[in-house]
């Protein structure tokens, strides 16, 4: 499949300036758990960056909605594989989250077909992980389960997690290096059980 066709099918990838590679994003309003958390003060989704700023522009919203609709396209796995092939690092969902078990299974297929790419996917959707054996996840993918509340510890049921702190203890160095990952790859590293971000 040509990249042009793959972009038309999927709505294309995003390019977060902070990250060492491209990403895929979906509308934050479609987040199943996040849409509830955003109403809860002190949650990691309260004040969600993906509901503000440039994400509110009509053209950005249209692109996000196109990517959401594209998940139902039977060519999605092939098209995403085409777009991601050749990338060293990939991030799933710089906005948005897992929509269904089928969506997650399709992401696994894309990861398996892009075995040279290291994939990282943060999620707040415990419902899709609770019955999943981490050993069955493609070895080039790490799924980090985010804690729902700022200043709470990592969840216990999943081996790779992320937390947000308003105090000391941040382990993400991005704020000290121009809000970029630079050479840090902790989020992609399975030997790092938890990554702690500073509250924005
Ligand atoms: S912990 Fe490292 S890889 Fe993760 S977001 Fe921060 S700088 Fe990037």
Q: Tell me the domain boundaries of the chain.
A: 3-198
Which of 20, 173, 179, 190 for a ligand 1 pocket mutation test, highest count of atoms within 8 Å of Cβ? 173
The residue written with tokens 């039977």 in the block is 74
- Model pTM above 0.85: yes
61 has pLDDT over 90? no
The stretch 92-110 carries a mean pLDDT of: 96
131 has pLDDT over 90? no
pLDDT score at 149: 94
- Ligand 1 center to 174 CA (angstroms): 6
- Ligand 1 center to 183 CA (angstroms): 9
- Ligand 1 center to 171 CA (angstroms): 8
Atom of ligand 1 nearest to the CA of 173: 7
The stretch 32-40 carries a mean pLDDT of: 89
Task: List, for residues 62-83, the tens digit of each pLDDT value.
Answer: 899 999 999 999 999 999 999 9
What are the residues whose beta carbons fall under 8 Å from the beta carbon of 54, sequence distance 6 or more? 60
Strand 89-92 to 23-24 pairing: parallel
pLDDT score at 59: 83
How far apart are the C-alpha atoms of 132 and 121, rounded to whole Å?
Answer: 15
Say what percent of the chain tops pLDDT 70.
98
87 has pLDDT over 90? yes
Atom of ligand 1 nearest to the CA of 184: 2
pLDDT score at 111: 98
Question: How far from 8 is each of 30, 82, 109, 113, 199, CA to CA, in Å?
Answer: 21, 12, 20, 20, 36
Q: Which residues line ligand 1 (CB under 6 A)?
A: 172-174, 181, 184-187, 195
- Ligand 1 center to 187 CA (angstroms): 6
Task: List, for residues 46-57, the tens digit of each pLDDT value.
Answer: 877 777 777 677
The DSSP output letter for 167 is S
């Amino acid at each position: 499949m040509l990249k042009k066709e793959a972009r038309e099918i999927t709505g294309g990838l995003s390019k977060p300036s902070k990250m060492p590679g491209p990403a895929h994003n979906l509308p934050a309003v479609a987040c199943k758990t996040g849409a509830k958390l955003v109403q809860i003060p002190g949650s990691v989704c309260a004040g969600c960056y993906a509901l503000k700023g440039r994400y509110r522009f009509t053209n950005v919203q249209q692109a996000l909605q196109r990517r959401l609709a594209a998940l139902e396209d039977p060519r999605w796995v092939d098209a995403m594989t085409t777009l991601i092939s050749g990338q060293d690092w990939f991030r799933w969902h710089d906005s948005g989250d897992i929509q269904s078990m089928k969506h997650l299974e399709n992401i696994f297929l894309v990861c398996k077909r892009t075995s040279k790419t290291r994939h990282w996917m943060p999620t707040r959707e415990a419902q899709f992980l609770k019955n999943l054996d981490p050993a069955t996840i493609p070895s080039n993918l790490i799924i980090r389960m985010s804690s729902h509340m700022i200043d709470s510890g990592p969840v216990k049921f999943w081996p790779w997690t992320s937390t947000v702190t308003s105090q000391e203890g941040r382990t993400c160095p991005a704020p000290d290096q121009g809000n970029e990952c630079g050479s840090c790859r902790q989020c992609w590293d399975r030997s790092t059980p938890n990554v702690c971000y500073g509250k924005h």
